[in-house]
């Protein structure tokens, strides 16, 4: 698990999460799948090294949904 912690800390500081922003429905689906994997790997627990990654991925998903699935569509 220490390797994952080191990898996560190193990559989140070097990698611009905006590059993962989905532009297509397929990319959106893949990002949702990634989020599920990270959550299942322990990211759902506050304080876990992957928790910040969960937040970042969730923000990207939310931005895509705000544009492509506006709330007024469901009212």
Model confidence pLDDT, tens digit, residues 17-60: 777 889 999 999 999 999 999 999 998 999 998 999 999 999 99
- pLDDT over 60 at 9, yes or no: no
Please report, for the chain, the start and end positions of each structural domain, with discontinuous segments joined by +.
2-10+21-74
pLDDT of residue 14: 45
Inform me whether the pLDDT recorded for 3 exceeds 80: no
What's the whole-model pTM score?
A: 0.71
Q: What is the pLDDT of residue 1?
A: 45
Rounded to 5 degrees, what angle do the CA atoms 28, 24, 48 make? 25
Give Cα separations from 21 to 5, 16, 18, 59, 63 (angstroms): 23, 10, 5, 9, 8
């Amino acid at each position: 698990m220490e390797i994952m912690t080191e990898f996560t800390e190193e990559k989140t500081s070097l990698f611009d999460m905006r590059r993962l922003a989905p532009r297509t429905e397929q990319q959106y689906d893949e990002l949702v799948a990634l989020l599920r994997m990270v959550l299942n790997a322990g990211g759902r627990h506050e304080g876990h090294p992957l928790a910040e990654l969960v937040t970042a991925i969730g923000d990207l998903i939310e931005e895509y949904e705000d544009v492509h699935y506006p709330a007024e569509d469901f009212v």
